[in-house]
Amino acid sequence: QILVIGSLNMDTVITVENLPKDGETIIAKEVNKFCGGKGSNQAVAIARFGANAIMLGKIGKDENGKALIASLEKEGVTTEYIGIEEGVLTGAAFINVDKEGTNTIVVDPGANYSVDKDYINEKASAFRVADYCLLQYEVPIETVELAIEKCYEEDIKVIVNPSPVAQIKETLYEKIDMLIVNETELSELSGIQVVEDVYIQKAMSVLVNKGVKCVIATLGSKGSIYMDASYKVEYQEAFKVNAIDSTAAGDTFTGALIASFVKGGDLKKSMRFANAAGAIAVQTKGAQDSIPMLSDVEKFIAE
């Protein structure tokens, strides 16, 4: 069982001819709603790749929240621990996209910012059934820190995807079993700008030196690389595809990697599987819509 502690958002995508200028009012060409939030995206990815995800997080008492729960249930994600926060709205992102695909995004964290320490303590029973816990940083950082401590005490493996990037207490790094970062997060957390490939391993070793047991870096069209506690490195090339939208590529990769890994695949095989899932995701627009199914990935790898 994989506990996913993170955000649930309803994304509203507003397609416009040109983005509005200061003070301007314009008419939308099209408006669509999609389920999103890194927590919920990664839980969906885990479920689609055939592992069990339990979602921990909060929604508001509103239609968006109900729609998110219904969608997660349809995907086979356990939703019984999700909290309903009175007086705030379900997290939401408002995305304006113009004809060239340029976007502006406003995020209302809403109920995600109410995922506090009390909530985590109330949901102790969820921790008792979990083997792994996956965290991102779209909920308050104190909550992430408490969850890492709690998992460590209960012998639950901790996987962290530090996105959007933020700093946690230095002493917590040694309690992280797997840290999954993209190049921006790797640069920020290591203090080494990975502007050239030669810096990637150096930056990863900084994180290993902080005590992380395994660091996995996603490198976009270059694939992914991992470094373990003894600085052993393994690189997996990306699959060559025609990328049109990288939204949720990282979430897809993370979900795929964990699902494959917990199902008994070794890390190298899991990285190849996750690269394939990411490569499929970048060929389709949208967030959860672009996360493939297990069978799609297996077929893609076999081709």
Catalytic annotation, residues: 251
Query: Within positions 196 to 225, which residues make up the interface with ligand ADP, using CB under 6 A?
Result: 218-221, 223-224
- Under a CB-based contact definition with an 8 Å cutoff, are residues 159 and 133 in contact? yes
- Under a CB-based contact definition with an 8 Å cutoff, are residues 292 and 281 in contact? yes
* Phi, psi (rounded to 5 degrees) for 180: -110, 115
- Under a CB-based contact definition with an 8 Å cutoff, are residues 73 and 79 in contact? yes
Establish if 14 lies at the interface with ligand ADP (CB under 6 A): no
Amino acid (1-letter code) at residue 295: S
Q: Which is nearer to ligand ADP, 255 or 278 (CB)?
A: 278
Can you give the C-alpha Rg of the chain in angstroms? 19
Helix axes 249-262, 267-281, angle to 10 degrees: 150
Establish if 159 lies at the interface with ligand ADP (CB under 6 A): no
3-class SS at 152?
helix
Q: What does the longest C-alpha to C-alpha distance in the chain come to?
A: 57
- The piece of 5-13, 132-140, 261-269, 271-279 that touches ligand ADP (CB under 6 A) is 271-279
* Nearest partner of 55 among 45, 70, 40, judged by Cα: 40
Establish if 253 lies at the interface with ligand ADP (CB under 6 A): yes
Pairing assessment for the beta strands 58-60 and 214-218 based on DSSP bridges:
unpaired
Minimum CB separation from ligand ADP for residue 37, in Å? 14
Q: Which is nearer to ligand ADP, 120 or 276 (CB)?
A: 276
- Sheet strands (E) in the chain: 2-5, 9-15, 30-36, 53-56, 58-60, 83-85, 91-97, 103-108, 132-136, 157-161, 178-182, 214-218, 224-228, 233-236
* Nearest partner of 143 among 115, 171, 175, judged by Cα: 115
Identify the H or E element spanning 106: strand 103-108
* Phi, psi (rounded to 5 degrees) for 248: 65, 10
Establish if 160 lies at the interface with ligand ADP (CB under 6 A): no
Q: Which is nearer to ligand ADP, 42 or 275 (CB)?
A: 275
* Nearest partner of 241 among 303, 174, 176, judged by Cα: 303
Establish if 279 lies at the interface with ligand ADP (CB under 6 A): yes
- The piece of 125-133, 142-150, 241-249, 292-300 that touches ligand ADP (CB under 6 A) is 241-249
- The piece of 60-68, 104-112, 143-151, 249-257 that touches ligand ADP (CB under 6 A) is 249-257
Minimum CB separation from ligand ADP for residue 301, in Å? 12
Establish if 249 lies at the interface with ligand ADP (CB under 6 A): yes
Q: Which is nearer to ligand ADP, 54 or 144 (CB)?
A: 144
Establish if 171 lies at the interface with ligand ADP (CB under 6 A): no
Among 84, 89, 241, 267, binds ligand ADP (CB under 6 A): 241
Minimum CB separation from ligand ADP for residue 239, in Å? 6
Query: Within positions 221 to 240, which residues make up the interface with ligand ADP, using CB under 6 A?
Result: 221, 223-224, 238-239
Pairing assessment for the beta strands 83-85 and 214-218 based on DSSP bridges:
unpaired
Q: Which is nearer to ligand ADP, 69 or 194 (CB)?
A: 194
- Interface with ligand ADP (CB under 6 A), residue total 19
Establish if 278 lies at the interface with ligand ADP (CB under 6 A): yes
Establish if 282 lies at the interface with ligand ADP (CB under 6 A): yes
Site of interaction with ligand ADP (CB under 6 A): 182, 218-221, 223-224, 238-239, 241, 243, 246, 249-250, 253, 275, 278-279, 282
